Structure 1
């Protein structure tokens, strides 16, 4: 996201590149999948089914704002989902993420790979 912000600031009049505008249009039309508050091992079967269903859409928006607890297994599942989506030519966008999700992904070095939005200071 920081790279996108840097590009947007240098684009002049519109403040947004055409590819960013197209990306925003795709995100607006993509189905929204809400990640559970407890995103740990016990929730993996249901989350996996939801993510597999989302692969068919080609573009998906994940909402991680409600995540309170997350473990490595959930993050691994999200990484696999992201890789498969990329392989199929799909796109992943985030509606938002919680502090818990950002912190866990950051500790494991997965924030960039998952394309998590930049954290904002409280």
Structure 2
């Protein structure tokens, strides 16, 4: 079930940032797995998120990303984006979170 797969986490050698690939279906059903992936990424310091494959996203997922952002800020770590889909940008914009999350513009489909 591709829509319910957990976020995939990769350790990048250059810069030492942990990259978390957000699932295509980033809604409530995927939150437990996504939460675990994001928690696992925190001790590594810098986190890079790849949201380019997100097709569906809900408020709970955006709140989780906001909490990640705040935790990283609190510990002096950074959050970077490797991409963000139009769906992710639209949802974050609708809730006024695009600027806080520092989402990049959606790339071509």
Class of the TM-score when normalised by the shorter of the 2 chains? 0.7 to 0.9
Q: Report the counterpart of residue 87 of structure 2 in structure 1.
A: 100
Q: CA deviation at 1:121?
A: 7.0
Q: Contact (CA 8 Å) 2:18, 2:48: kept in 1 or not?
A: yes
Cα RMSD (Å): 1.5
Q: CA deviation at 1:118?
A: 3.0
Structure 2: segments with no counterpart, 5+ residues: 1-13
1:97-122 CA distance string (max 9 Å, x none): 00000000000000011010134577
Q: Flag the structure with higher helix content.
A: 1
1:62 pairs, out of 49, 74, 78, with 49
1:80–1:40 distance in 2 versus 1, CA, 3 Å? same
1:111 pairs, out of 95, 98, 102, with 98
Is 2:39 the partner of 1:52?
A: yes
1:27-80 CA distance string (max 9 Å, x none): 743121100000000000000000001110110110000000000000000001
TM-score, length-normalised on structure 2?
0.82
**Structure of greater Rg:** 1
Q: Report the counterpart of residue 4 of structure 2 in structure 1.
A: none
1:120–1:36 distance in 2 versus 1, CA, 3 Å? closer
Query: Which runs of structure 2 are paired with 1:3-82 in the superposition (5 Å)?
Result: 28-82=15-69
Partner Cα distance (1:37, 1:120) in 2: 15
Moved segments of 4+, more than 6 Å: none
1:90 pairs, out of 77, 80, 87, with 77
Instruction: Name the count of aligned residue pairs.
Output: 96
